[in-house]
Amino acid sequence: MKKNQTNTEKKSTLTTVAAVALLVFVAGSLFYVFAREFQSGAAGAKPTGKQATDNRSGGPPAPEGQRKIVAYYFRATARCAPCVTIENYAREAVVNGFPNELKNGLLLWQVVNVEEPGNEHFIRDYRLFSQSVVLVELRDGKQTKWKNLDQVWLLLGDKSAFARYIEQEVRLFLAGG
């Protein structure tokens, strides 16, 4: 009886290990396919300057013919706790650090779900591979430059350093740097 129970336990363990291995293989395969698609789409891709629909800046957009900076937070539908934290920290840094710029429309804060129809191009345009904060400069409604703030993931554990980083990068963009 004990021998049968041990064999059953071994089979159960092997089944669990096989299931985990299969899940890891599937996840790795999906990552590989996504990375290949990203590489082929990013080579020579040019941002379109299409505006997002989620404007939470609180201010009016700058009139045509003027310069404005858009601080985007690009997210997916499924969100992990660190992804939500990055969005919250970034929004707080922009809102608290630049109230006048937001009010007069020079600076916009926009959250974009890249998985919604029509937003997929942002993945190629800004070479996104995870949730990201991206600054974009627009002149006369056309994109002139952009920067992915790639340090947000590294600074996630230090809210004040995170806020300083976001504010410093936004100031550089506002100053034309």
> What mean pLDDT is reported for the chain?
76
* pLDDT at residue 61 in the model: 52
The residue ranking higher by pLDDT, 29 or 132, is 132
* pLDDT at residue 109 in the model: 97
* pLDDT at residue 62 in the model: 47
The residue ranking higher by pLDDT, 95 or 38, is 95
Q: Inform me whether the pLDDT recorded for 5 exceeds 60.
A: no
Q: What is the DSSP letter of 55?
A: B
Sorted by sequence, the CB contacts under 8 Å of residue 153 that are 6+ apart come out as 82, 86, 130
Average pLDDT in the 124-151 region?
Answer: 93
* pLDDT at residue 56 in the model: 41
Q: Inform me whether the pLDDT recorded for 11 exceeds 70.
A: no
Q: Write the pLDDT tens digit of every residue in 42-99.
A: 333 333 444 343 344 444 554 556 889 999 999 999 999 999 999 999 999 999 999 9
Sorted by sequence, the CB contacts under 8 Å of residue 112 that are 6+ apart come out as 52, 53, 54, 72, 73, 74, 75, 119, 122
Give which of 145, 150, 154 is closest to 125, Cα–Cα: 145
* pLDDT at residue 177 in the model: 66
* pLDDT at residue 85 in the model: 95
